Structures are given as structure tokens and as C-alpha cells.
Amino acid sequence: WALMHEDVTAIRALKRARNAIILAHNYQTPEIYHAVADIVGDSLALAREATTTSAAVIVVAGVHFMAETAKLLNPGKTVLTPDSRAGCSLADSITPADIRALRAAHPGIPIIAYVNTSAAVKAEVDYCCTSANARRIVEHAAHAAGTTTVIMLPDRFLAANTARETEITIIPWTGACEVHERFTEADIAQVRAQYPGVTILAHPECPEPVVAASDFSGSTAALAAYVTEHRPARAALITECSMADNIAAANPATEFVKPCNLCPHMKRITLANIRHALETMTETIDLDPGILARARIPVERMLAIP
């Protein structure tokens, strides 16, 4: 605790000295989320907030694609990642060459990339989306292109879960989140049997039968908002474990029950390496100017859709 307190004090002083802010994803540990973050949220909120800050330095407490997104929206600012090895199984599942091959195979069909992709992949696509706006972007992209089909990648489960909500045909890719793909329908049945009356909230990166067996599905911010609004006596957040830890204090009327899974990539970010990033001003996110300019377009298109 003493070490943690020392890191928190140092980080707060460094933020003032460097004119820096910390953007933290909802899966960061509670000490990051509550003690040092300036903005917390889902991927969409972090991208939006990255466009409004006047700080000179942005530290992204999240995985690499989130830091790249902050950089491409703020090319003139210093964007720091506390650990550049914090990857994502979804971002790793597809390359720019894969996108070019998909485009050649499906001419005229709009391509939507989940925000969980590299900047190099975003540079090849038409729209970006997050779990908070997937259906809206799918429908907008199809309408704008005059088609009834879109390609949505790389998460096959997000594609299947979005397809359940729309008339548009979605051509998926094969990627999956290594954290969410492990949840099963049997897990849901077991929680319901063990905790009568439990409300089950699942992230749409979970397999389709898991989402179908749940009471509500949405982005991490939508799951948190559901708990705050409905105040269930018991809730199971079928997602990364820090989610429930982070919102428990603000929702004392709700008992949070398991299962949850840890994301090893999100967990690479610690108070110690956030402090180190601000002390040394490393590691910076540096993108090829050509990739940055092209990757920005699908993200800005997404942000322009209300």
C-alpha cells in the first residue's frame, strides 16, 4: 500500500508538471481507474475524449490500439503507452493485406473495422466502429453505399451479435477476443442456478449463445450504465474482471457475482509503469504519417455519426 500511495502521489505531480492526462479503459485495475485516471470509459468514450483534451501529453492506460487511436486523433501531441507489449488478440488477428484481399473479393461492399485493430488496418477500411455503435455504423455504411451487405471485422462474435439486431447481411472475419471467447452458455446456466434472480450482463465480444442467454448486452460503458440505472440486487458482468471491481463502490446495492476473465494485455499496465512513462516520457506512439492520415478517416467518420 505504501508503494502504491507513493506511485499515486508521484503520478499526480508528474501529470501537473508535464501537462498530461491519463485516459483509462474500464478494464484497468481499480487503483488506476479511481486514483490516477482523468477520463475513464469504453473505447468509444476514450476516442471521443481524445479529441477534446487540451493537455500536451496523453497517457493511455489501455492496450496498444487504444494508444494508436489517441495518436491518430492527436497527431501533434505526445501519446505515451506505459507498456507497448499490451496487445489484443483481435488486433493481432488481421493484417492490412487481409483487408486488401477482402476488398478485392467483395468489390463495392463497405468494410467496417472494429476499433480493436491496428492503425495500419484502419488505414485500409471505410469505417471504424466500437461495441457501443456497431449496429448504427453497419446500417449507416450499408445505406451510404447503397448495399444490403457489409464486411465487419475482425471479431466473428461481435459480427454475429450485431447481425441479430439488423436486417443488413454481415460478412465476418475469424478473429475472437481471447478473454470473452472463453465464456460458455453452460457458465450462464450455472450462474442462474447458483444465484436465483441474478441479472446477467454480457459484452458482445462473447459467443452468440452467451449473449442470447443474457439479460442485456452492450459495451463496457453500457453495462455499467445498466447497473446504475436498474440497480439489480445481483449482477454477473460476463466480461473482464476489473469491470465489476471498478463500479462496485458506486453501486453498493448490487452484489457482483462471478464468472469473469482477466485480460493479460490490459493487466500489463500498472501504476509503476504509468509513473515510469511520465518520468521518462517513453514509450511514445509514433505512426507513419501516411498511415496516420488514412487511418484517421474511418475513425472520424465514426465519431461524426451521432
Residues near ligand SF4 (CB under 6 A): 63, 88-90, 116, 177-179, 205, 240, 263, 265-266
Which one of ligand SF4, ligand 13P, none is in contact with 214 (Cβ closer than 5 to 8 A by kind)?
A: none
Pick the piece of the chain touching ligand 13P (CB under 6 A) from 40-48, 103-111, 167-175, 251-259: 40-48
Do the beta carbons of residue 24 and residue 62 sit within 8 Å? yes
Residue 161 contacts ligand 13P per CB under 6 A: no
Of 241, 235, 234, the C-alpha closest to 266 is: 241
Q: Residue 233, class by beta-carbon neighbours within 10 Å (0-12 exposed, 13-18 middle, 19+ buried)?
A: exposed
Whole-number Å distance between alpha carbons of 124 and 293: 11
| CA angle, residues 263, 266, 267, in degrees to nearest 5 | 85
Of 25, 91, 88, 31, the C-alpha closest to 61 is: 25
Pick the piece of the chain touching ligand 13P (CB under 6 A) from 39-47, 191-199, 275-283, 286-294: 39-47
Which one of ligand 13P, ligand SF4, none is in contact with 219 (Cβ closer than 5 to 8 A by kind)?
A: ligand 13P
Of 136, 120, 176, the C-alpha closest to 153 is: 176
Q: Residue type at 182? A: R
CA neighbours closer than 13 Å in the CB half-sphere of residue 296: 15
Residue 130 contacts ligand 13P per CB under 6 A: yes
Which one of ligand 13P, ligand SF4, none is in contact with 220 (Cβ closer than 5 to 8 A by kind)?
A: ligand 13P
Pick the piece of the chain touching ligand 13P (CB under 6 A) from 37-45, 190-198, 267-275, 288-296: 37-45
**What is the sign, positive or negative, of the torsion defined by CA atoms of 123, 124, 127, 129?**
negative
Which one of ligand SF4, ligand 13P, none is in contact with 178 (Cβ closer than 5 to 8 A by kind)?
A: ligand SF4
Residue 69 contacts ligand 13P per CB under 6 A: no
Residue 220 contacts ligand 13P per CB under 6 A: yes
Instruction: Specify the residue, 15 or 301, whose C-beta has the smaller distance to ligand 13P.
Output: 301
Which one of ligand SF4, ligand 13P, none is in contact with 78 (Cβ closer than 5 to 8 A by kind)?
A: none
Of 22, 24, 29, the C-alpha closest to 43 is: 24
CA distances from 125 to 51, 139, 248, 280 (A): 21, 16, 38, 35
Pick the piece of the chain touching ligand 13P (CB under 6 A) from 11-19, 36-44, 51-59, 194-202: 36-44
Compute the least distance from the CB of residue 86 to ligand SF4, in Å. Answer: 8
Compute the least distance from the CB of residue 236 to ligand 13P, in Å. Answer: 17
Which one of ligand 13P, ligand SF4, none is in contact with 130 (Cβ closer than 5 to 8 A by kind)?
A: ligand 13P
Whole-number Å distance between alpha carbons of 269 and 191: 30
Compute the least distance from the CB of residue 177 to ligand SF4, in Å. Answer: 3
Whole-number Å distance between alpha carbons of 59 and 188: 36
274 grid coordinates: 504509468
Paired strand residues for 113: 128, 153
- DSSP single-letter state for residue 106: S
Residue 26 contacts ligand 13P per CB under 6 A: yes
Instruction: Specify the residue, 116 or 214, whose C-beta has the smaller distance to ligand SF4.
Output: 116
- Residue from 219, 242, 246, 270 touching ligand 13P (CB under 6 A): that is 219
Interaction site with ligand 13P (CB under 6 A): 26, 42-44, 88, 116, 130-131, 177, 205, 219-220
